A and B are shown apart, each in its own frame.
Chain A
Amino acid sequence: MINNLRVFLCLFISILLFGCGSKSSPTTSAAPTSGGVANSCLNAPAGGNISLSNPPTGLNVLPVVLNGQNYSNEPTVTIKFCNPGTNTCVSVSNILVDTGSYGLRVFGSTLSALTLPQINSPSGNSLAECAQFGIGSTWGPIKSADVILGTEAAVTIPIQIIDASFGTRPTACANSDTTPSTAGYNGILGVGLFKEDCGPACVAPNPAPSLYYSCIGAACSVSNAPLASQVVNPVGRLATDNNGVILELPSIPTCGAQTVTGALTLGIGTRANNTPAAVTFFQTNNLGEFTTTFNGQAYTSSFIDSGTNVLFFPRNNSLPSCTQRVGGQDISTFDCPLNTVTLSATQISGATQKTISFQVNNAYNMFLSPNYNFNDIAANLATTFDWGLPFFYGRKVFVGIDGTASSLGTGPYWAY
């Protein structure tokens, strides 16, 4: 009812102002073409529930669900956790699939039926971590667990138990996730390009970054962490299927879909269901980044991240921000073009180049629609091009883990 009222008000105001999304139409210096869909996504119909037409099957496949239960464009899977070496297990759903991080993290509150052994710091105390993402952080101890992905054999690995009450949270984690409901997930499955979340940078004698901590009671201090104790990408520890993953999502309509089902397939070229065909290979640098050129600028630290829920790129005055509020909240970071805007950017790795065409629609109108998942939602970020979840719709994206080989090449790489 409230949504209907908002749509009506928006339509009414749009008649007065020639647009619900902004005060002026966008100047599209970055847009070689702009579409003619007036009032982009205003009164968008329900986009339905969309699945892959030919989903992969096998013990190395995890269904990926985007149901908008918590927020838009959130790909989630279910993972089984067990006490090491036992059949005492719990399945935890709503775990975010994140190609922009490395390692498995889960709220301790979801594992209350388990007793997982604590991993110690080099000084013999409890090892904890303030894991940091592009935005946001998770705090809690590192414990050992048996983890089952799909129906693969269990792997025993260090995972982070997200627990804001553990020890004393360092300042760097002052705004860390505290509960599944405020975080919007029960955990994070970091299946990006690297095996460990920190890697050699956290190993002595390197100066310890503010990531791992050694805790005695409530007192925690920055610590090194050997590779064997670091939180790891569980895929890298599988007996087979350990050289990467494929994240595949179906195409969805302009202005969104209600729910989407895709697949996370473990391994690249290790089985019939993960054999690459006709893909473009992008080697990354040692940070997992490549160059994207957009609007005449080269962004050398761009990356592909399923954990980012929009396309982030520098607006450079080419797109208007949203001026409305939703539920009293400022949404001005989002782009709100009056009409559908078609843009393009080029991904570059060595001699390989691929130009990606994409659309941006009015985020405010999309928030008012009955849909939760969008391939055309974007937001402003001055510093780089972050190819978020919308990039994955209609694509089969291969994520090659650093130092592992497949028929495509040696990681770190992306291919699609």
Chain B
Amino acid sequence: MRIINILITTFILSSSSSFAYLNEHTSGKRSIMRKTQYKQVQIIEKVDDDGVIRKVSWKGMHHPELNTLLGPCYSYYQDYMKQSTRLRLRGAISIDKDGCHISIGGHMRNVTGEVSLDK
């Protein structure tokens, strides 16, 4: 008989003055989704079964500090922002590189983003 492992995903909601970042090793619960309210931004972190934050998404009045939140993927974002004026996309970006998947967009008053890192 095939064994099916069921991953029980729970949501933990909290308000915080800081937030975790992609690829951070956490010591708390594993296989959970943590929902954090950071200022006026809602951040959802997905903690994998190995205790590592593999995916972070956000939505709110402003972007969280991306240099922290994007963790090892931040350099790809920075490289993109240095692209020439003529070729740089306006309004949103989407980057898939070396296991980093970054989507950032939205509009004033409601900016959004999602970043994940392959195992």
Contact = CB atoms under 8 A, between A and B. Distances in A.
B is a partner of A: yes
Interface of A: 70-72, 74, 100-102, 130-136, 171-172, 174-175, 181-184, 190, 192, 194, 197-199, 201, 206-211, 287-289, 301, 303, 305, 307-310, 312, 326-327, 329, 331-334, 367, 379-384, 386, 388
Contact of B90 (A71, A131, A175, A303): A71
Given A133-B107, A381-B103, A326 B87 contact: yes
A380 B110 CA distance: 19
Query: Which of A194, A309, A381, A384 has the most C-beta atoms of chain B within 10 angstroms of its own C-beta?
Result: A381
A209 B59 CA distance: 13
A207 B109 contact: no
B75 to A, nearest CB: 12
A171 B62 CA distance: 12
Given A71-B90, A309-B91, A382-B103, A287 B110 contact: yes
Interface string B64-102: 010100000000001001011111111111111000010
Contacts of B86: 70-72, 184
A100 B108 contact: yes
Question: Helix, strand, loop or mixed for chain A's interface?
Answer: loop
A132 B108 contact: yes
A181 B88 CA distance: 13
B110 A333 contact: no
27 contacts: A71-B86, A131-B108, A133-B111, A135-B104, A171-B67, A172-B65, A181-B85, A184-B90, A192-B108, A207-B40, A209-B62, A301-B110, A307-B90, A310-B89, A312-B92, A327-B87, A329-B83, A333-B93, A333-B94, A367-B87, A381-B105, A382-B114, A383-B57, A383-B114, A384-B105, A386-B91, A386-B107
Contact of A381 (B39, B63, B92): B92
A207 B107 contact: no
Interface of B: 39-41, 57, 59-63, 65, 67, 78, 81, 83-96, 101, 103-114
B109 A288 contact: yes
A307 B91 contact: yes
B109 A199 contact: yes
B106 A384 contact: yes
B65 to A, nearest CB: 5
Nearest to B65: A171
A386 B105 CA distance: 8
Given A192-B107, A301-B110, A329-B83, A309 B92 contact: no
Contact of B63 (A74, A172, A181, A201): A172
Contacts of A312: 91-92, 94, 105
A131 B78 CA distance: 18
B16 to A, nearest CB: 12
Query: Which of B60, B88, B91 has the most C-beta atoms of chain A within 10 angstroms of its own C-beta?
Result: B91
Contacts of A184: 85-86, 88, 90
Contacts of B40: 201, 206-207, 209
Contacts of B84: 327, 329
A83 B93 CA distance: 38
A301 B114 CA distance: 14
Query: Which of B87, B88, B96 has the most C-beta atoms of chain A within 10 angstroms of its own C-beta?
Result: B87
Contacts of A380: 94
A134 B111 contact: yes
Contacts of A207: 39-40
A100 B91 contact: yes
Given A71-B85, A134-B105, A135-B89, A333 B112 contact: no
Contacts of B78: 175
B65 A209 contact: no
A380 B114 CA distance: 13
A200 to B, nearest CB: 11
Query: Which of A183, A210, A326, A327 has the most C-beta atoms of chain B within 10 angstroms of its own C-beta?
Result: A210
